[in-house]
Amino acid sequence: MKTYEPVPPRRVAFLGLGVMGHPMAGHLARAGHGATVYNRTAAKAQTWVGEYGGHAAATPRAAAADADFVFACVGNDDDLRSVTLGSDGAFAGMKRGAVFVDHTTASAEVARDLSTAATALGLHFIDAPVSGGQAGAVNGALTVMCGGDAGAFEAMRPVALAFSRAVTRVGDSGAGQLAKMVNQTCIAGLLQGLAEGIAFGQKAGLDMKLVLEVIGKGAAQSWQLDNRGTSMVDDRFDFGFAVDWMRKDLGLVLDEARRNGAHLPITALVDQFYSDVQALGGRRWDTSSLIRRLR
């Protein structure tokens, strides 16, 4: 059970109650922050209220009214714009000085654009994508990488620790999204290496669960090996971070690389491998399903 640090209660809103947002908002409520929630499918917001209390709002603007911090976790750049901008968007309802904290994995470009728009309205915008997946959200153990104003970040950080184990500012606006792109790039390469190693060992007739136990005590150890190695050996992928989501994230990485001139041959290749997994019917399989291509 998550233990919450004592933090003065704040008025918060949470926009987007999917597999990540639902438990994240729940941790905020359990930590004592008065929460108003919004979800595009209103029934999900009512379900959340039935579980955690608080209130459901009909629009992002209504949810954000009077909140000190407005958190969001939606699907992509377009979804993020839809809950922030326009007459029903959160920015239209937020009070001056309030902080919008975006946990969506989105582009650095949209983060910078929305930061500029927020500043013009006397608001603060923090791009704050997360790592740790659904299990991290449920357990309140996410890692959050943030970009934006240092003062706004420091005000937000103790509140966000309700659903996180680490909340770190890595730079100015957009830097959080760029750091998440680094995260996804590293994961993609690690998973492909792990898939090839397991496939090789199985072809060689090794007891791969025993081999993983052995090499997990040495230089090959990683979170992916510890948490996905055995399920890869067992050919189980009906859980975790979906291939569709990873392809969206790697698309952001490759778009940014085209802008900044970074050369990412392995990332581009693994992205195509995930396309192969999608063609095999694995759109919702865990990202460790890369090994399916090798069997």
CATH number at residue 250: 1.10.1040.10
Which residues are known catalytic residues?
180
Q: What are 100-116's pLDDT values in tens digits?
A: 999 999 999 999 999 99
CB 247 within 8 A of CB 278: yes
Residue given tokens 């941790």 in the structure block:
27
Q: Which long-range contacts (CB under 8 A, 24 or more apart) does 60-63 make?
A: 60/15, 60/84, 60/88, 60/89, 60/90, 60/93, 61/87, 61/88, 61/89, 61/90, 61/92, 61/93, 62/36, 62/38, 62/93, 63/13, 63/14, 63/15, 63/36, 63/37, 63/38, 63/90, 63/93
Which of the listed residues 148, 172, 196 is the one where a domain comes to its end?
Answer: 172
Q: How far apart are CA 128 and CA 179, in angstroms?
A: 10
- The answer to whether residue 3 sits within a structural domain is no
Say what the pLDDT of residue 1 is: 81
Which of the listed residues 119, 152, 172 is the one where a domain comes to its end?
Answer: 172
Residues of the chain with pLDDT under 70: none
Choose among 68, 69, 42: nearest CA to 57.
Answer: 42
Amino acid at 234: D
Which of the listed residues 172, 199, 223 is the one where a domain comes to its end?
Answer: 172
- The answer to whether residue 111 sits within a structural domain is yes
- The answer to whether residue 261 sits within a structural domain is yes
* Tally of domains within the chain: 2
What is the residue range of 30's domain? Answer: 11-172
Query: What tokens were used for 155?
Result: 């005000």
- The answer to whether residue 200 sits within a structural domain is yes
Say what the pLDDT of residue 222 is: 98
- The answer to whether residue 4 sits within a structural domain is no
CATH number at 53 reads: 3.40.50.720
- The answer to whether residue 222 sits within a structural domain is yes
- The answer to whether residue 150 sits within a structural domain is yes
* 3 state SS of 126: strand
DSSP state of 241: S
- The answer to whether residue 221 sits within a structural domain is yes
Choose among 30, 39, 116, 108: nearest CA to 71.
Answer: 39
- Burial code (b: 16+ CB inside 10 Å, e: under 16) for 244-278 equals bbbbebbebbbebbeeeeeebeebeebbebbeebe
Q: How far apart are CA 181 and CA 8, in angstroms?
A: 33
